[in-house]
Amino acid sequence: GGFDVAHESGFYVGTWASNLAGWGTFGGSNLELDIYGGYATDISDFGVDVGFVWYMFPGGLDRTSYGEIYGSVGKSVGLLDLTVGANYAFKQDALSLNNVKQDNIYVYGDAGVAIGDSPVSLSAHLGYTDGNPATGPNGWVPSPTGTYLDWALGVSYDLPWGPIAISATYVDTDISESEAAAYSLVNSGYRYGIGDATAVFAISASF
């Protein structure tokens, strides 16, 4: 779960947290805690968002937390809401390989559309990662191969009471079974298929 607080000036801060069941490499509470802040504004017909996020693993091993700069530009075209963006994790210890600091870049595109006047909306996502090609000092890695594609298709429904929505999203990558198997040999604590498709269900509220 997580929450954001935004000021009318455009500045905002937020946090997000999740368990890490299956990793078995971070120790501590096996928790990821993200803290971020940024600035969002409109320039002409475009929505611009820039900020910084810090990924932490409370109580876990040293040299696992790392930072990332992000930015995106969005625009509405007819019924479509379109966004393109990038996240850049600069060279740092958590992304090091053989004690040499690595970096990582992620670029993506998102599209969303509401189904007429109904409470149903659809979404699509395509992303590309390029960066650190192996595990960091404590088993962390952005991808098992250094580069991969990910995509997602989702549907959401605004409930008729309150500012609550439910959603379901299908998520997949082009990481092959052999690439995932090679990664599991490096990180023996990982028990689940890192390249497997999955579904994510969520309940969210805006107020």
pLDDT tens digits, 33-55:
999 999 999 999 999 999 999 99
> Which residues contact residue 61 at a Cβ distance below 8 angstroms, ignoring those fewer than 6 apart?
25, 26, 27, 28, 138
Mean predicted confidence (pLDDT) in 81-102: 88
Q: Is the pLDDT of residue 153 over 50?
A: yes
What does the pLDDT read at residue 73?
98
Summarised one tens digit per residue, pLDDT across range 5-24 is: 999 999 999 999 988 765 55
Q: Are 113 and 121 a contacting pair, CB within 8 Å?
A: yes
Query: In the beta sheet, which residues pair with residue 2?
Result: 16
**For the stretch 97-118, what's the b/e string if a residue is b when 16 or more beta carbons lie within 10 angstroms of its beta carbon?**
eeeeebebbbebebebeeeeee
Q: Which of 200, 94, 104, 95 is nearest to 148 (CA)?
A: 104
* pLDDT for 142 beyond 50: no
- And the tokens for 123? 């979404």
Instruction: Specify the pLDDT at position 69.
Output: 98
Please report the pLDDT score of residue 158 as a whole number: 93
Higher local confidence (pLDDT), 199 or 161: 199
Residue 136 is predicted with a pLDDT of 63
The pLDDT of residue 62 is 74
pLDDT value of position 95: 82
Residue 191 has pLDDT above 70, yes or no: no
How many CB atoms are closer than 10 A to CB 36?
19
Which pLDDT does position 154 carry in this prediction? 98
Domains of the chain from N-terminus onward: 2-205 (2.40.160.40)
- The reported pTM is 0.83
